[in-house]
Amino acid sequence: MGDECTAVHKLHVIFGPVVRTGPNDVDIADGAALSAIYVEKGGFKKAGFYANFDIDGHKSIFSQVEPAERAPRAKAVLSMFSTSSLRAGVHTIYQCVDRMVRRMKEEAKTGKPVNVLNLTRSLATDAVTAYLFEDSYGGLEETSGEMSASGMVNAFVAVGRFFYLPNWMFRWLEWSNEKFFADHEVNASMMKVDSFIATMVDRSLKDEKLKGNYAARLMKNGFSAGEARAQCKDLMFAGTDSTGMNLATICFMLAKEPEKYARLRKEILERKPDETELQTLPYLRGVVREGLRLSMANPSRLPRIVPPKGYTFNGIFLPAGTIVSCTPFELHMNPDVFENPNDFRPERWENPTSEMTRDSIWFGLGTRQCIARNLANVELFCAVQRLVEEDVLKGAQCCQERIEILQWFNSKVKGEKVELLWP
Ligand code: HEM
């Protein structure tokens, strides 16, 4: 239904921070539980539902629940996400950002509503593919309609709707959906993405220039070309929807609050940051954090399994095998931690409380937190910097009161549009 978070929130209001949401499921709306569930001793294992995000018969770094199976795959690519690698590759991100800024400026001149979500998603796809695969997908070059990879991304987002089904039921649903309700546009998008990835992976085996890319690193560590293709497809999905949604939310909020946009512009123009200082600008950092907090790319439960010895929280014992979770929605919208939580207030991050820092789980937490969080941050900071330097959002008006989402595992923006208008 897409109302999981608000429904669970209502239960928390009635029953308090620990709520049994199903026969074997417990949700905890208290940041004090985060460390034990997600961090200490590697955190509890991911729940079996994650298998519903397997790709083309392969487990991805995201869907693999067994730490020992995930470790060699993650190890093969981890250094690509380090701050030093990203600093060395930041020009690639700026090239993509500059293309997006040009597109937004051109579309703004038409006087028609501009779907910034399409542009930010295109940026996210190009940044992930250009930086990690050394082969840009070219989403920003596609000037008519939605970016061609969107159908694939939307289909994967829709998987989150059925996240909690047992894997056998999920597989049956997926099979029958493909058989009886095949969607031509989604199929065309899948085929285009598959063909892009297959060509890139194939070239990674032969082309010296690509020998350090994500696919080549996996294959050099003994993983098959088939698996490399699946892992790359997973990144294109994970990296497009999330960063795209966050950046579109930031554009929307800055257009809605011109005085905050003016303050941000003043800071960026006065400080003229290079890439080493960019993430230290206090107001810019507040803008990005508020975007991440409010946009809810992953709003719902991050489910884990209670280990054999059980788990006690605030005197409540959860037996082994219980599926326990905290949710970004519940923690990011907690008025005791974030005053007036629905407000976009970058200034709240000037002096964050320890609870604010603890409860900000937009990238998840612990060993299974987002592997690409540094890359996502670089994309967001560079994109906001350039949009502001070029004054692109000046005079932009929001075409909707707020951004409404369906609260699936990966949230879906209703109508798949975040529109701005430059009258
Ligand atoms: C602002 C953007 C992003 C947000 C908010 C975000 C959010 C998250 C969250 C919440 C998780 C943990 C999910 C869980 O515990 O169930 C996660 C994991 C992951 N993300 Fe991201 N993500 C972002 C960008 C990206 C990008 C750009 C990529 C790829 C290029 C990516 C790839 C992954 C992968 C592979 C995992 C699984 C890590 C593991 O389980 O070991 N994400 N992300």
Is 364 touching ligand 1 by the criterion CB < 6 Å? Answer: yes
Whether the pLDDT of residue 98 is over 90: the answer is: yes
323 vs 303: CA distance, rounded Å: 6
Average pLDDT, the chain: 94
Q: Check residue 176 and give its pLDDT.
A: 76
Q: Check residue 167 and give its pLDDT.
A: 84
Mean pLDDT of 161-182: 79
- Number of helices (H), then strands (E), belonging to the chain: the values are 16, 12
The closest residue, in CA terms, to atom 23 on ligand 1 is 242
Mean pLDDT of 119-129: 97
Mean pLDDT of 12-16: 97
Mean pLDDT of 253-265: 98
Residue 115 phi/psi, 5-degree rounding, is -80, 95
Q: Check residue 158 and give its pLDDT.
A: 80
- How do residues 38-93 score in pLDDT, each as one tens digit? 999 999 999 998 998 899 889 999 999 999 999 999 999 999 999 999 999 999 99
Helix 150-159 and helix 225-256: axis angle, to 10°?
90
Q: Check residue 170 and give its pLDDT.
A: 82
- How do residues 326-349 score in pLDDT, each as one tens digit? 999 999 999 999 999 999 999 999
Is 362 touching ligand 1 by the criterion CB < 6 Å? Answer: yes
Is 90 touching ligand 1 by the criterion CB < 6 Å? Answer: no
Whether the pLDDT of residue 134 is over 80: the answer is: yes
Is 298 touching ligand 1 by the criterion CB < 6 Å? Answer: yes
Whether the pLDDT of residue 180 is over 80: the answer is: no
Query: Which residues are CB-neighbours of 176 under 8 A, at least 6 positions away?
Result: none
Mean pLDDT of 294-320: 95
Ligand 1 centre distance from Cα of residue 293 (Å):
15
Q: Check residue 260 and give its pLDDT.
A: 98
- Residue 8's alpha-carbon distances to 29, 399, 407, 411, in angstroms, are 10, 30, 11, 16
Identify which of 370, 382, 411 to mutate to test ligand 1's pocket (most ligand atoms within 8 A of the CB): 370
Q: Check residue 162 and give its pLDDT.
A: 84
Is 409 touching ligand 1 by the criterion CB < 6 Å? Answer: no
Please report which confidence band the pLDDT of residue 277 belongs to, taking 50, 70 and 90 as the band edges.
very high
Please report which confidence band the pLDDT of residue 236 belongs to, taking 50, 70 and 90 as the band edges.
very high
Mean pLDDT of 105-124: 96
* Pair 298, 369: CB distance under 8 Å: no
Q: Which atom of ligand 1 is nearest to the CA of 234?
A: 35
pTM of the predicted structure, to 2 decimals: 0.96
Strand 25-28 with 304-305, pairing: unpaired
Ligand 1 centre distance from Cα of residue 375 (Å):
10
The closest residue, in CA terms, to atom 16 on ligand 1 is 302
Q: Check residue 272 and give its pLDDT.
A: 96
Please report which confidence band the pLDDT of residue 220 belongs to, taking 50, 70 and 90 as the band edges.
very high
137 vs 193: CA distance, rounded Å: 9
Range of lowest pLDDT (20-34, 104-118, 150-164, 331-345): 150-164
Whether the pLDDT of residue 177 is over 80: the answer is: no
Residue 310, classed as helix, strand or coil, is: coil
Pinpoint the alpha helices (H) of 257-372: 258-271, 282-295, 328-332, 354-359
Please report which confidence band the pLDDT of residue 17 belongs to, taking 50, 70 and 90 as the band edges.
very high
Q: Check residue 169 and give its pLDDT.
A: 86
Please report which confidence band the pLDDT of residue 160 belongs to, taking 50, 70 and 90 as the band edges.
confident
Whether the pLDDT of residue 259 is over 90: the answer is: yes
- How do residues 311-330 score in pLDDT, each as one tens digit? 999 999 999 999 999 999 99
Q: Check residue 159 and give its pLDDT.
A: 76
